[in-house]
Amino acid sequence: MQLETIVTEIDECIMLITLNRHKTLNALNQKMAEEIISSLREADKNEEVGCIIITGSEKAFAAGADIKEMRENSFSEMYQLDWFAQWDGISQIRKPIIAVVSGYALGGGCELALMCDFILASKTAKFGQPEISLGIMPGIGGSQRLSRIIGKSKAMEMCLTGRLMDADEAEKTGIVARIFTQETLLDEAKEIAKKIASFSKPAVQMAKESINRSYETSLSEGLRFERRLFHAMFSTADQKEGMSAFIEKREANFTNK
């Protein structure tokens, strides 16, 4: 597929997806949603890829859904086209996805970052759900994922006032895993992605699946699910290799089997 709104590159074991609508601060339109989801699916199928990075520009990860594209839409158009339902596809991606955020991550841009497995940010990052100032509300998880991460009070305050949160506060509240300088952010992110990709793919994917399950089930069900996956890992060659390598004081050579 000829990509118009993103650039993708495979760097060793990482698929790097760079949002590429810089003039509009990477505003998310329908085309971009389709291209991101289809690239993620491709990465998921590609045996070389062990981890995926989604990033934007220095000024903006993404400043939200494209206001110009949707302004004139009617309710029936939004409903019948099921506008932005394709974003749900991100939750079916089994390989880890890291959002690497500099500058603005607003509205749908903040929600896209929150759909990823974790967020690495530069000191310039600003997160927000400013939809309220446009006469709308968050629509791809902002009112759901954000409140589960930062709690009701802060999520309410952000969604009802549109206030932006800086990188330090985002790290303190758990939106962001780690902060780096602008200059080193992408290199640090690639190192982290390569580390993840160096481990057993089944182990990485089961760990991701298990953490995600915790958001959708009771603690006792979640613990049972985790234990079953843990037991299942003892059927993999990588479990034998990982434990043997430790005992033999050598590097593990995982084969994803």
Residue numbers at the binding site for ligand DAK (CB under 6 A): 24-25, 27, 63-68, 78, 83-84, 104, 106-108, 130-131, 134, 139-140
- The token pair at 19 is 């949002």
58 has catalytic annotation: no
Q: Is 107 a catalytic residue?
A: no
Catalytic residue of the set 108, 109, 128, 141: 108
Select which of 27, 33, 43, 65 is catalytic: 65
Which is catalytic among the residues 27, 43, 99, 111? Answer: 111
Task: Give CA–CA dist 109/112, Å, rounded.
Answer: 5
Nearer to ligand DAK, 24 or 38 (CB): 24
The nearest distance, CB 108 to ligand DAK, in angstroms, is 4
Per-position DSSP letters for the chain, written without gaps between them: ---SSEEEEEETTEEEEEE--GGGTT-B-HHHHHHHHHHHHHHHH-TT--EEEEE--SSEEE-SB-HHHHTT--HHHHHHTTTTGGGGGGGG--S-EEEEE-SEEETHHHHHHHHSSEEEEETT-EEE-GGGGGT----SSHHHHHHHHH-HHHHHHHHHH---EEHHHHHHTTS-SEEE-TTTHHHHHHHHHHHHHHS-HHHHHHHHHHHHHHTTS-HHHHHHHHHHHHHHGGGSHHHHHHHHHHHTTS-------
Active-site residue (options: 131, 142, 170, 171): 131
Distances (CA, A) of 72 to 66, 68, 69, 113, 186: 12, 8, 8, 26, 37
Distance, in Å, from the CA atom of 31 to the CA atom of 36, rounded to the nearest integer, reads: 9
> Known catalytic residue: 72?
no
- Catalytic residue status for 237: no
Closest to ligand DAK by CB, 43 vs 99, is 99
The answer to whether 129 touches 138, Cβ cutoff 8 Å, is: yes
Could you tell me the smallest distance in angstroms from the CB atom of residue 99 to ligand DAK?
15
| Residue 140 C-beta: closest distance to ligand DAK, Å | 4
In whole angstroms, the minimum distance from the beta carbon of 174 to ligand DAK comes to 22
Q: How far is the CB of 187 from ligand DAK (least distance, A)?
A: 26
CB of 178 to ligand DAK, least distance (A): 24
Residue 155 vs 197, nearer CB to ligand DAK: 155
- Residue whose CB is less far from ligand DAK, 24 or 173: 24
Q: Which is nearer to ligand DAK, 96 or 103 (CB)?
A: 103
Which C-beta is closer to ligand DAK: that of 109 or that of 202?
109
Catalytic residues: 65, 108, 111, 131
